[in-house]
Structure 1
Amino acid sequence: MSNRQIETVCQHQTIALSATILALDLGTTTGWALRSADGIITSGTASFKPGRYDGGGMRYLRFTNWLGELQRLSGPIAAIWFEEVRRHAGTDAAHVYGGLMATLTAWAEMRGVPYQGVPVGTIKRHATGKGNANKAAMIAAAEARGFSPADDNEADAIAILHWAIETEGGMA
């Protein structure tokens, strides 16, 4: 399902209100937040740093397996929102992000799970009131909601999840 198709799905289903949804901050250390169908929110980080003897694709295979395990444990994922990054500090970060996003979107397409990127400024503005909030402000915003994020990656995922729930994925 394409980004455009998620809008149609969201308009005809109450994805953000009654189903399992996943929010991701993609990177070598990926932040994640999941709201289960019963309303319980869990969050954390997952490392996809390659091992010393890993081939170039192992990071993405581990990410694929992690997504499958997350779905197996949480039940069917109805929708995925992820931080849509348009500018990266370095070439390596851009390559990792692109690979993870390609893996995520292929995984979702194969399972018919709608997905949508959310611009960084939108997430930061929703969480803190400032579209250019720093990492400390994002962590503080997550803490203000009662979470104890391990780092800014988890805090960003929590912010994406709350944005998706509170705006019905940008539809409200």
Structure 2
Amino acid sequence: MKILALDIATKTGWKTETASGVWDLKPNRGESSGMRVVRFKSKVKEIIQIEGITQVSYERPAGANKSSIMAESEMIGVLIDLCIEMGVEYASYSANEIKKFATGKGNAGKPEMINAAVKLGYNPIDDNEADAIHLYLLTQKDLG
């Protein structure tokens, strides 16, 4: 099973078997907010094709920030449509599930998530990449 794990946001953390990182999808000056979705779809499609991804896992949106949840939900809709179109399985996990897996605490903070990734030998750019790393490992565990 070839996994792509995504912590979806304007700064999207991602992890595959061979690499990980963060995509900054913030629209440039003068661009519509829809460019975030266009860039996201393009990057996901490229990785699926290049790495032969068969499973995409993503963190479900949550929180009190309405605009963030709306933006993430738009990207998730595009992601699901793309997965169906390309014949790729997909699954979602809550932030609490990912945090509990990584640190043993469902309410771990960003520094704890980064430190947990470092302890595993990773060097995440930020908490978005750290979350994607842990989501990748959690998906791997769940798939056996």
Partner of residue 27, structure 2: 50
Residues paired across the two proteins, number? 144
Residue 125 (structure 1) aligned with residue 107 (structure 2) = no
What aligned pairs does 1:12-91 form with structure 2 within 5 A after superposition? 19-35=1-17, 41-74=18-51, 76-85=52-61, 87-91=62-66
Q: 5+ unaligned residues in a row in structure 2: which ranges? A: none
Superposition deviation, residue 73 in structure 1: 2.7
Match of 1:102 in 2: 77
The aligned residue for residue 164 of structure 1 is 139
SS of equivalent to 2:46:
helix
Dislocated runs of 4+, deviation >6 Å? none
**1:123 & 1:56 partners in 2: Cα distance?**
28
Larger Rg: 1
Cα deviation for residue 138 of structure 1 reads: 0.3
Instruction: Encode CA deviations 1:58-81: one digit per residue, 9 max, x unaligned.
Output: 11111111112212332x210001
1:148 match: secondary structure: coil
Secondary structure of 1:24's partner?
Answer: strand
Question: TM-score, structure 2 length as denominator?
Answer: 0.94
Deviation at 1:140, TM superposition (A): 0.5
Question: What TM-score, normalized to structure 1?
Answer: 0.80
For 1:55 and 1:42, locate their aligned partners in 2 and report how far apart those are by CA, in whole Å: 30
Residue 138 in 1 paired to residue 120 in 2? no
